[in-house]
Structure 1
Amino acid sequence: MTVLALLTIALLAGSSVALPNRIVGGDETSIEKYPSIVAVEFFSWGGIWIQTCAASILTSRYLVTAAHCMLEHVSFRRIRAGSSYRNTGGVMVLVEANFIHPNFELEGAFHDIAVTRLAQPLVYSSVIQPLAIVAQNTVLPDGLPVVYAGWGAIWEGGPPSEVLRDVTVYTINNALCTARYEAADSPWPL
């Protein structure tokens, strides 16, 4: 739980850039291990709800997620809390409002962060808990193992996982991160 909290704070504190679908693989896990994660679902034109993103519980009514996950009208979004599975189980709650970072840019994914307010409060349980948040200005050392959890692709370009997965990655400093993103935007191969 602490590692996930550290990762979330790192993303909130320093995330002005995000590349989609950059973390794949990992291992199947359970919601009991990460009770602060929820699936974000979109109501498709086919009349079904489809999990498209994830969010973390801040309080019983508020979540933090990526801004690009909340661009559609709130009536097209709900969350599924307390389930290890992508589209089944848990409790569903409709989204009431989204507060997207004012400097968010879809192209380049700068400031890709949003706070979501739920229509009803979540009821905490062993599988629904708020995220533990570390203090502001906490410095994360290079090479710190942190965990991403979600329903992302099992392999590069593959379909999303039906079961919650986690993968360990390691922190890098801001200068190296900036250099990598600048290189990714260059016309030259990496």
Structure 2
Amino acid sequence: MRVFIALLGCIAAVTAVPAFPQRIVGGSLTTVDQYPTIVSLLFSWSATSFFQNCGGTIITNRAILTAAHCPFRDSPLSWRVRAGSSYANSGGTVYALDSIIINPNYNTWSMDFDVAIMRTSQVISFNNVVKAASVAGPNYNLADNQVVWAAGWGTTSSGGPASEQLRHVQIWTVNQIACRDRYAAGGATITDNMLCSGVLDVGGRDQCQGDSGGPLYHNGIVVGVCSWGFGCAQPHGDAVYKWRARAGSSLANSGGTVYAINSCTIHPSFSFRTMNNDIAILRTAVAIINSSAKPVSIAGVNYNLPDNQVVWAAGWGTTLVGVAPGEQLRHIQGWTINQKTCASSYATFGANVTANMLCFGWPLGGVRDQCQGDSGGPIYHNGNLVGISSWGYGCANAAYPGVNTRISKLATWIQTNA
């Protein structure tokens, strides 16, 4: 998830928002010959078609170190390990998993103890491009401003495409107090189990989506696991963040009133991998209803929404993949897409469109859609909230409509928890 908090809680003391969570920004191409301990972690919704989704590090001939948020709540059958290849989705040897061990103290809200171990079903065969890493021990000395290297197959810009070939980038360790102070301003907590890295007050180099779980090296020793952060390669935020709500403004980052968040309630059956039940309620610390901020009418459990109905999406997301999000609120007219048609499209690579999802698009071609930065935003039908932007394959892809959480299927949960 960003400039990057590495985490290595249970193995080393020095350690540290899709649809298709996939980050090396400002780096260069490299090969597995230089990083024989790194692996590509492959995910599948259906345990059939697998694609690169996170990174990991070989620590024994059966154990892979990664971030807990990557396989959290997943079955081992949903993951594979590709070792010995410079490429995310080809080459090397692919291993199935026997088990996934999530740190018992992992906190999905604070991201503390964001570390996990994947155990392969078979012994990993070591060679010149497949080796076990050395990890930092409890007394490992890692001072501020030390050169460290991050490697992975993540996106090369926030919201941009993932890299098929392995990339690496040189960055520096950032003073813990300085990092903690930066994120405290946004309500985030940097714990002693986290390690900040980046180019403070400069930016331009970082890990990004898809690098999650991947290694951070200091003199060849693994000292961190890519965990989270605010955006990618931001100069003033060393990988981490929390939330505020701006209401009553047409602009993304100015105007209106900003409210602190008191609590977050995530649907108990939400799956980060299948994106089923992708819904949450943020509760503000103070009341927000005023003349320019009003509550919406939501679709009830019996709300009738046929195919090919005109609906509207609104948000501040990017207008093209890889382009910076907009500052001015935008809206777009689209249509509800037949559920079976949408499900069939995504089934081609193993994704599952459930009854709790609503597909949205433009029937005359893939030229209208929601995109990065619109996640969580509304879909309206006759002024009623019928969907929440959730996930999809790319943006404005004619073959793959945008997928939203279907409000009517979760209306009872919303009313109970609002």
TM-score by length of 2: 0.40
Note the residue ranges of structure 2 that are not aligned, 5 or more in a row.
1-5, 188-241, 246-252, 254-418
| Structure 1 partner of 2:134 | 132
| Structure 2 partner of 1:111 | 113
Residues matched between the structures, number: 180
The alignment status of 1:167 with 2:188, answered yes or no, reads no
Q: 1:100 to 1:9 in 2, by over 3 A?
A: closer
Q: Does structure 2 retain, via aligned residues, the 8 Å contact 1:95–1:119?
A: yes
| Structure 1 partner of 2:145 | 143
Q: Distance in 2 between matches of 1:21 and 1:46?
A: 18
Q: Distance in 2 between matches of 1:28 and 1:156?
A: 18
Q: Does structure 1 retain, via aligned residues, the 8 Å contact 2:38–2:58?
A: yes
Q: Does structure 2 retain, via aligned residues, the 8 Å contact 1:44–1:50?
A: no
| Structure 1 partner of 2:85 | 83
> How many percent identity over aligned positions?
35
Q: Distance in 2 between matches of 1:75 and 1:166?
A: 29
| Structure 1 partner of 2:236 | none
The alignment status of 1:157 with 2:196, answered yes or no, reads no
Q: Distance in 1 between matches of 2:142 and 2:62?
A: 28
Structure 1 counterpart of 2:26, one-letter code: G
**RMSD (CA atoms):** 2.6
The alignment status of 1:93 with 2:95, answered yes or no, reads yes
Decide which of 74, 77, 86 is 2:76's aligned counterpart. 74
Q: 1:134 to 1:109 in 2, by over 3 A?
A: closer
CA shift, 1:95, in A, is 1.0
Q: Distance in 1 between matches of 2:12 and 2:155?
A: 23
Q: 1:39 to 1:180 in 2, by over 3 A?
A: same
| Structure 1 partner of 2:225 | none
Rg larger in 1 or in 2? 2
Q: Which shows bigger deviation, 166-175 or 145-154?
A: 166-175
CA shift, 1:183, in A, is 2.5
Q: Distance in 2 between matches of 1:76 and 1:152?
A: 19
SS in 2 for 1:40: strand
The structure with the greater share of residues assigned to helix is: 1
CA displacement 1:118-140 (0-9 Å, x = unmatched): 10011110110010224322121
CA shift, 1:43, in A, is 1.5
| Structure 1 partner of 2:204 | none
Q: Which shows bigger deviation, 168-177 or 63-72?
A: 168-177
Q: Which has the higher contact order (CA 8 A, sep 6+)?
A: 1
Q: Distance in 1 between matches of 2:97 and 2:105?
A: 22
Q: Distance in 2 between matches of 1:31 and 1:22?
A: 17
